Amino acid sequence: MTSRNCGGSSNPYTPQEVCGSGFSVIDSAALGSDGTVYLLYNSSNANNCVVTLKAKSLGTATATSAYLEVQGSTRKTDSGNFAYYAGPVKAAARATCVKWGGKAGSTAYNSPWEHCS
């Protein structure tokens, strides 16, 4: 029988786990007490990755989203009912600004154009 973390537990996933090897967190925004949206970057391939980790209703599918928009390209979004996180949303963004954000519960974050490296 597996043990279950009930009440007050934290999300078992990390942004780096979700995005994969080589990604490091370069920015984040709290979504109230509902979760956190993270922007990660992989310097070896100039890819960005966005993931929204839930902090409430863990293990229960609730509306969660993550998006990444590279300047001059179409926005990529992962949106739906997820148990632990939305994403990863990845795109190459060398020497280009990005908009990123996400939503968990009733709280959303939308960045300005930034991280123009």
30-50: pLDDT as tens digits = 999 999 999 999 999 999 999
Instruction: Decide if 93 contacts 44 (C-beta within 8 A).
Output: no
pLDDT digits (tens, 9 = 90+) for 103-115: 999 999 999 999 9
Distance CA 23, CA 111 (A): 19
Chain centre distance of CA 95: 21
> What's the pTM value of the predicted model, to 2 decimals?
0.91
